[in-house]
Structure formats: C-alpha cells, structure tokens
Amino acid sequence: MDHRSARALLEWYIDLGADECIQDSPINRYELPDAAPVSVRKAAPALPDTKPAPARPRVVAMAQVDTVAEAQRAARSAPDLAALKAALAAFPHCDLRRGARNLVFADGQPGARVMIVGEAPGRDEDQEGRPFVGVAGQLLDRMLAAIGLARDAAEPDQAVYITNVLPWRPTQNRDPVAEEIAMMRPFVERHIALAKPEVLILMGNHACDALLHRKGILRLRGQWTEAAGLPVMPMTHPAYLLRNPAAKREAWADLLDVRARLDQTRGAR
C-alpha cells in the first residue's frame, strides 16, 4: 500500500468515528500465570507477621452530575453571544465534543429577523465549523434566496441567523438522543434570547423536539406555532428534501408563509 492509499484509508476510519487502534485479539492484562515459579532452594520457615493488616481503602461513590442543571447555569451566565460560545466550548459534560473536530456555533447575522434552528452538524459542518455548509446547506441557501433572504446579507431585513440544537457532530451522523437534546436545550434557548429574532424556523424533527417538545415533522410542518415567545414555522430539513424531491412543493409553500409573515410585520420592531 502506497502512502496515498494509506492516508485515504486512515481518513475513512476517522470519518467512521474510529478514535484508537486495537489489536486483532484482546489481551487480559489482569490474567495471572498458570502456576507460580517454583524455587529450587528450600524456603526458610515463615516468621509470624506482627504488622497490622493495612486498612482497606474506602470506596466513595461519585456524585451524579445533573448535566441539564449545569447547562442551565452555564447558559444563564452568558451575557452575549461571544460569552455563550465560550460557555459551550468549555462545557465538559457532552461526550460529543470528544469526537468532533470543531464547535459549530452559528452563521449569519445576529439580530436578523429570521433565525433558523437545525438539528446537528454533519461532516462538512464539523470540518468548517459553520452550520449548513454541505449539500443540504447549499439547498437551504437557494431556498432562502427565493424569498429574498441570505445568511451573508448586510441588512437585518434580508439576513438570516443559523444555528443547530447540537453544536458538535454526532459520531457517524447518527440522530441526537434525548439526553443530548435535553442537555443542549438551555444553550439553544439562551441563544435565541441573545440573537433576538422575530421569527423562528425549526428545520427537522429534532429541532421541533428541542423547542416544541413534539415530534412528527410531517404533521407539524406548515403550521405556525410558538416557542421561546416567538412565532415558529416548523419545516422539513433540506436533507429530507434531497431524498424526497416531491416534498419541495410543501417546503416552498412554507417559505412563502414565512415571507408573508415578515412582510406583514415589517417595521414592527
């Protein structure tokens, strides 16, 4: 195998989530030898042991950490978005951080009228450190452009602000689990409060689970609801639209509803 093939294989293992090398068979490092070595010399008679037996160490159970309460304290202590990002980066209780390359915090313009909350970073987002930059993100950019919005727009009226429920990529792009969503929910809620949007778009099932405490995106999509004191439009995730192109018609209708809502409330802030 040449060095290019070896590098490609190593990168493939990393993308699969491998984080250590192992041997073909396990080694029991606690296993005792079959028999103790036998001395050929006659052993001297054992003297009585007059020393007191050493005290056995006392086993103390570690206290269970309430990770949700820790997340709430860390999120509440952040006075602005920069501090919130720092609090997330320092938060030690989410195991996802150990397998991720980058913290994926946000993209777009804080203070934009529209804030999008997605689910979790994928491979491209993990590598770049920004949400929605892969194929699904490129589709999202085209969808937003169709109603006059863009993440790089200078004016808040045309801008969007984008984040995810999870700031770190789950291993092998698996779905977030309930414990991870509950742990990150306080950070997402604080993120919304600091970004101060007018309208929230929840992209996908797990974003709805985090902020609406409901699942079933195909039933929820297209119906205005409320979360964090803001009007919310649940929408199917762009990755779902790539797998199911026929659903783009419904997504287009949802985008038009968002555009109409923004036009009706223009200047109300």
Sequence ranges of the domains in the chain: 69-264
pTM: 0.75
- Give the per-residue pLDDT at 173: 86
Give the CATH number of domain 69-264.
3.40.470.10
Query: What is the Cβ-side half-sphere exposure of residue 162, based on CA atoms within 13 angstroms?
Result: 25
| pLDDT interval class at 60 (50, 70, 90) | very low
- Interval 130-180: pLDDT, tens: 999 999 999 999 999 999 999 999 898 999 999 999 999 998 889 999 999
- Interval 215-238: pLDDT, tens: 999 999 999 999 999 999 999 999
DSSP code at position 34? S
Residues 6+ apart with CB under 8 A from 65: 93
Cβ-based neighbour number of residue 7 at 10 Å: 11
Residue 62 has pLDDT above 60, yes or no: no
Measured between alpha carbons, how far is 5 from 88 in angstroms, rounded to an integer?
37
Residue corresponding to tokens 């804080």: 110
Measured between alpha carbons, how far is 122 from 133 in angstroms, rounded to an integer?
9
